[in-house]
A and B are shown apart, each in its own frame.
Chain A
Amino acid sequence: MLKVNNVEVKYAGVILILRGVSFEVPDGSIIALLGSNGAGKTTTLKAISGLLRTELGEVTAGTIEYDERRIDQQDSEEVAKRGIIQVMEGRKVLGHLTVEENLILGGYILKKTNVKKDLDMVYDYFPKLKTLRNATSGYLSGGEQQMLVMGRAMMAHPKIMLLDEPSLGLAPLLVDEIYEIVARLNAEEKTSVIVVEQNARAALAISEYSYVMENGRVVLDGPSSKLANNEDIKEFYLGLSKLGEKRSYREVKHYKRRKRWL
């Protein structure tokens, strides 16, 4: 169980990004963090994984606990060794290395591991990567690179995978494929997943529980199926307003719906 408790994050000591974020991730679950640009979703993931500390950020209040032990003041290496691996946004492959070299580095922190078996496991999830194993990863297509970075994280056998915007810039069909794999990973390897998304529809469909963030706070949370029917979520994140009803221009709203959670 991962517990994020009232976490506050500052960059460079003055810029307040997170203003008290709390949520928890039970073992083996998929949690979604939703929100628009600048809401603090990525920062939340970086606070958990410790990558914050590589870029002048710092958890200044609150705690992050994994299995009853605090990880909020640990470096990313130690957090990763405890089984929490972040897949960063923007398909960060090691460009000049081949696909297989990328994957091998993903399992670098495991001392006793059968690299060949782990590679086969990843190739089983992503058959495409097997055919590309000797290709230079910088030249792969966007979808292939997204598969590669996820496969690379799987090489470390994470207990919790932090997925940052896996659908960014991908074709809808590919988005479905990626999310099917996330669901399978969760079901078969019992990996918990925290997924950060702007594509709310995809994230709500796959997750059990969701948190909506805005301005560095969690403003709304609930079971994903319930949130998908919330009027505010529909209006602001799914772009629907009373879908299915006959529209009349007489009823076109001249005002913007106000969010009910503020």
Chain B
Amino acid sequence: MFYREAGDFKTTYAEDNQTFPIKFDRYRYYAVMLFAFAVVPFVIDSYWLNAVFLPFLIYAIAAIGLNILVGYCGQVSLGTGGFMAVGAYAVYKLMTSFPDVSMIIHVLLAGVITAIVGVLFGLPSLRIKGFYLAVATLAAQFYLVWLFNRVPWFYNYSASGQISAPERFVFGVPITGANTASWATYLFCLVFVVFCAVIARNLTRGTVGRKWMAIRDMDIAAEIIGVDPLRAKLSAFAVSSFFVGISGALFFAVYLGAAEVGESFGITKSFLVLFMVIIGGLGSIFGSFAGAAFLVLLPVFLKNVLVGSLGWPTDIAAHLEFMIVGALIIIFLIAEPHGIAQLWRVAKEKLRLWPFPH
């Protein structure tokens, strides 16, 4: 009824090309932004922050990053955990070396460093394709984790081999360390999420994104029509790793506070982010958010129901969680291989005609 292009006249090219061409979508977007920026910070408490919002926001960035690589450029990567670790260790080194610089700059720099590392590990993608590449990225995963474990310079020669975030500020407000306020860390991550999502959305619908998609659909054909595979693939690796690095930096510095690389950034993390991308929908920015939300909320929900309400031991709940996540992935793939984003697209098509389908 409200979900219509009809009556919403576009009079300039800029309007015609806007991200949300339908008025309802646009207002919903403004409403979500308003809610996220102006309502949530005032009501958020530390349980909601740590159980739901921070993981959701941080994983959403990682999922957007991986979606660019896998969903848009078609280069399957299982090294996300390793690249998140690069972001985390980069931000740690920057935080401890330059304590007076704002955290915003540190996090962005960590992203840049990860992008460089990502390009380095992306080089083999020029020769290796498909599953072979997926396994090749495992090399990045295991090598990077081993490197951060074994070279003491990375963890500043601390006795435990862990890294822990010292207290750092943005505009005089503590963002990391022990004395942070819920609203401050929430807003800090939210700003980065919005920043990344806007960049990703605009990259993927422009020239760069079209080149990536051409490479994804068939790289030889893309090469023939004039897409340089070297630049397209490496730029996808760079942009993807930039986002993944930011998310790794935030994950360590803001969310965890202290991290041990094998535990926090192991292979399971790579798979978790990949699941988010697949369940959410390959090649969709909205899908990255949906997938992240789904896989962050599911364990919280299961834990509350099974342990909280039914009083089962936590280990059974953990096993059931594995089963349910596994089963859901299979069910999703059978029912809708293109993920939640596709369901959303179908729903939108239906909505346009509703309630008069003819």
| Chains A and B belong together in one complex | no
